Structure 1
Amino acid sequence: MHLHNGHFGGMHLIWWIIWFILIVWIFFIPVDIPYQKTKKDSPLEILKKRFEQGEISKEEYEESKKILKSE
């Protein structure tokens, strides 16, 4: 590296910018990374979603809910 009047060229500043961008990217990227473990829904949550989407009737929902809560 060449010193010009006691200063580095612009390269020193460029490295600081690169490090800053790298650190920001590591800590502030979205969490939805492939192969990352995700929270699984409980059986009751799955049952509720199926009922909300109309996949099962109210009677099936109530019966399944009773079975799951008894376990």
Structure 2
Amino acid sequence: MRIDEYKCVACGTMCGHGMVSHNFVKKMVDWVKEGRRTPAQAARYMARFCICGVFNTVRAEKLFEQARTRGA
């Protein structure tokens, strides 16, 4: 598994009900890399879809930051 796939799976499984799509995570990673969203904005935007409230925005923000800086 490539590192970018791992990050997508890691973010996508943060919601206990599976309401955060892996394709949506990939889209947010692309937007962060393009500068259309900051890592914090992308993490907060994704958390809106988590109905259980378990989504870890701090961890998601770190993963987005890693993807942005390392180009993974």
Short-chain TM bin: 0.3 to 0.5
Give the number of the structure whose residues are more often helix, by fraction. Answer: 2
Q: Which has the larger radius of gyration?
A: 1
Q: Give TM-score, length-normalised by structure 2.
A: 0.33
Q: Give TM-score, length-normalised by structure 1.
A: 0.34
